[in-house]
Amino acid sequence: MEFETYQTIRSLHIIFMVSWFAGLFYIVRLYIYHTEAQKKPEMERAILSTQFIEMEKKLWWIITTPAMILTVIFGTWMLIEKPGFLKEPWMHIKLAFVVLLLVYHFVCQKILFDVKKGIFNWKSNGLRIWNEVATLALVAIVFLVEMQGSLNWIKGTVGFFAVAIGLMIGIKIYKKTKK
């Protein structure tokens, strides 16, 4: 029964983690569209901004933030069930990425508050790059958990930066093809 309890907690952790990432990915995409809508004629901009504010609010408070809270709750519960993980170096690194992801989450929340007030401190290209930070965190966390101690850290680090460089190149190509 203990194994089934842990597997249930782990499954819920993964489900809410997927929901959290989906929310983080989509909220920044909405910020990009919202920012780009500011270049539209006044009437169109007003209509789009009203719609984006409503979409951003619902996504953030109904999906993304509750999913973040539940991810942290179930992750903490897993560590209570298996405290030995806290002695593992890979878990320390994973938890560092989770802390960075929480910072990312609250930076996104700050952007939410700003765009609701009509303050657009980020350009759409900056937001596209910002969106890839969550992708990099996802890649790092999944590989750390799945490979745990067996991953060659040199290859892992090189791979991590290769993904980052690939994403940056992809953004540059997208930017050129959009023009």
pLDDT tens-digit profile of 133-172? 998 889 888 888 888 766 565 566 677 778 778 877 887 7
Type of residue at 110: K
**3: its two tokens:** 């194994």
| Per-residue buried b or exposed e for 114-123, using 16+ beta carbons within 10 Å of the residue's own CB | ebeeeebebe
What is the model's pLDDT at position 153? 58
Its pTM stands at 0.85
**120: its two tokens:** 């657009």
Type of residue at 12: L
CA quadruple 26, 31, 36, 38: dihedral positive or negative?
Answer: positive
pLDDT exceeds cutoff 60 at 1: no
Q: What is the 3-state secondary structure (H, E, C) of 57-119?
A: HHHHHHHHHHHHHHHHHHHHHHHHHCHHHHHCHHHHHHHHHHHHHHHHHHHHHHHHHHHHCCC
Q: Which among 78, 69, 94, 81 is positioned nearest to 16, based on CA atoms?
A: 69
Which domain covers residue 160, as residue numbers? 2-178
Tell me how many domains the chain contains: 1
**152: its two tokens:** 């060659």
CA quadruple 88, 91, 93, 99: dihedral positive or negative?
Answer: negative
Kindly report the average pLDDT of the chain as a whole number. Answer: 91
Query: For 13-17, 48-52, 151-155, which range has the lowest pLDDT when averaged over its residues?
Result: 151-155
